[in-house]
Amino acid sequence: MKVLYLLIDFFTVIIPLLFSFHPKIKFYKTWKAFFVASFFVALIFLIWDKVFMELGVWSFNTRYITGVSFWQLPVEEILFFICVPFSCVFTYFCLDKFYRLAWDLKTESVFCVILSTGLLIAGILFIGKLYTSVTFFSTAFVCLSLKFVFKINWFGKAISVYIILLIPFLIVNGILTGTGLEEPVVRYNNSENLNIRLFTIPIEDIFYGFELILLNLFIYLQLLRKKDSRGKIVKSVPKETAAF
């Protein structure tokens, strides 16, 4: 089924896209901030993607992609880095708008340090496995930088939202890694990862996804904050969301 990956992208984004126009949500009014954030983060991850593809860390099953590519990457993979962050940032926006998700700042800091330390240790222990080490090191670096250099106050909220997002994550990533299929859409070289699977999903994907969402949220919220400081932010954006 050549359009399978394309359909995964479509069904990942279609409901958040439609509900962006709901009068109680109005996420569409922050689209500019999202797409700017998405462009820069996608660029980083696509470079990472291409390098790993060339190094044989992963590859794409031609059975499930259309064959259209840019920069030697399937167009479906490029859309993935727009559709998935869109859905995740939309979810954060909605939950932050209607619920109190904030953590105690001390708890945030402690959790960030413990998580990052664990990732750094694991990255060192498995330094010879490219996907494992690069993902763990980079995620730890992003977490520590955002929390202690840029001093974000929404790290705990991002954790809470990501835990909720793990449900659709298991579905989307599960299909991409072979759940219910004869072959996976994305093939992983298990010599470059821990070969520990959550169903069919490499454990590294959980942290890879978290890093992807953190960076999108950081730029997105920063842009909203700057817009707010100019007195132009739309009324639908929750004050807590736009704050750092």
Reading the block at residue 185, the tokens are: 């859409």
3-state secondary structure at position 216: helix
- What percentage of the chain reaches a pLDDT higher than 70? 94
Tokens in use for 106?
């001390």
What residue spans of 99-176 are helical by DSSP H?
105-125, 130-144, 155-176
Q: What is the mean pLDDT of residues 5-28?
A: 96
Coil, strand or helix at 187:
strand
pTM: 0.91
Side chain identity at 29, as an amino acid letter?
K
User: 108 with 177: CB under 8 angstroms?
Assistant: no
| Tens-place pLDDT, residues 21-41 | 999 999 999 999 999 999 999
Average pLDDT over residues 102-131: 96
| Helix or strand holding residue 70 (H, E) | strand 69-70
Q: Are 123 and 207 in contact (CB under 8 A)?
A: no
pLDDT tens-place string over residues 55-109: 999 999 999 999 999 989 999 999 999 999 999 999 999 999 999 888 999 999 9
What kind and span of H or E run contains 202? strand 201-202
- What's residue 240's pLDDT? 47
Tokens of residue 216, six digits: 């999108």
Report the mean per-residue pLDDT for the chain: 93
